[in-house]
Amino acid sequence: MDPLLVVIALTVLLAVFSLVVGIRASRRSAMEQRLDSFRSDQHKVVAAVEEGPVLRQQRSYSGVPVLSAFIGQFRGSEQLAVNLERAGVPLRVGEYYLIRYGMAVVFLAVPFIFSRGVFAFILAIGAAALGYSLPAIWLGSKKGARTKRMNAQMVEMLGMVANSLKSGYGLMQSFEFASKQLDAPLATELKRMIRDANLGMAGEDALAAMGERIDSADLDMVLTAINIQRSVGGNLAEILESVSYTMRERERIRGEIMTLTSQQQMTGIIIGGLPVGMGLLFLLINPDYMGLLFTTMAGRIMLVLAVGLEFLGAISMKKILAIDI
């Protein structure tokens, strides 16, 4: 049997199963809404108090209600929605899943265009896994870059807030002043936090929601200092200046470490790219000699092992040079 037909059949079967489960989940959700209309508002208020402060509204995981109800059943959907917010990616969870599965299907079909057989099937499985992982890698890089930009703006923001507090402004007024002076992305998060506070959310809850969206160790330090000051008292401006000094010293140490490890990073890039460059050079000089890697089973196995070892080497170098401060 053709492996491509098997893969297509499994994909169609999975799509039909997901549609049926989503329709059933949507029906259960509609029934729960009808039952809730007969309950008294007092029970809803008591339940809200028992659950504690609500930091965010009910999310919509997809523009299609059926898919939104189906995706909401998975445990990782809420965390994925938070990660999309932290990365600043204007996508819903359903759209993100659609991109991942779409890339997996495209990468799965590419090897069968050039050849058929057991090796093509194995290569298609690996390519599908790669296509499925690429959006997650891109999302992680976007999240890390956005958090890094906000950490770089944090010291300037603390200086503005501390000076505003010394001038007699309140805490929220100081954050509002800083949001007008700073650039995105930190200014965007500050304005969102101030909007939540203006719409009735408690100041502590608005700050906690901002900390959850940003997920920065530096911001957690700032929020912890603010919470401690509100509990035991003290001069908040001086506390924020002390936190700002600590963060400034951490940035200075990070810069020194990057300077000291830059040579090792460049060495890793050169060593990792040397086999690829030499392989392309030999492919141009003598295509018949290098063609054995693609036409024979032993060459294909060696090529797959080489790519895997290159990937493991890159991860090892990244872990060795990742020094946390």
What is the reported pLDDT for 310? Answer: 85
Q: What is the mean pLDDT of the chain?
A: 78
Is residue 55 predicted with pLDDT exceeding 60? no
Architecture label for domain 148-248: Up-down Bundle (1.20)
Closest CA to 321 of 267, 248, 242: 267
Is residue 150 predicted with pLDDT exceeding 50? yes
Look at the pTM and tell me if it is higher than 0.85: no
Q: For the residues 57-86, what does the mean pLDDT come to?
A: 75
Closest CA to 25 of 61, 58, 71, 57: 71
Q: Which residue has the higher pLDDT, 50 or 122?
A: 122
- Domain chopping of the chain, boundaries: 148-248, 253-321
Burial class (CB in 10 A: 0-12, 13-18, 19+), 231: exposed
Q: How far is Cα 305 from Cα 313, in angstroms, rounded to an integer?
A: 12
- Tokens for 233, please give them: 């008292």
- The answer to whether the beta carbons of residues 55 and 208 sit under 8 Å apart is yes
Q: For the residues 265-293, what does the mean pLDDT come to?
A: 85
What is the reported pLDDT for 2? Answer: 54
Residue-wise burial string across 69-100, b where 16 or more C-beta atoms lie within 10 A, e elsewhere: bbbbeeeebeebbebbbbbbbebbbbbbbebb
Is residue 207 predicted with pLDDT exceeding 70? yes
- The answer to whether the beta carbons of residues 289 and 282 sit under 8 Å apart is yes
pLDDT in tens, 154-167: 888 888 998 998 88
Q: For the residues 217-232, what does the mean pLDDT come to?
A: 85
Look up residue 184 and give its DSSP letter. Answer: T
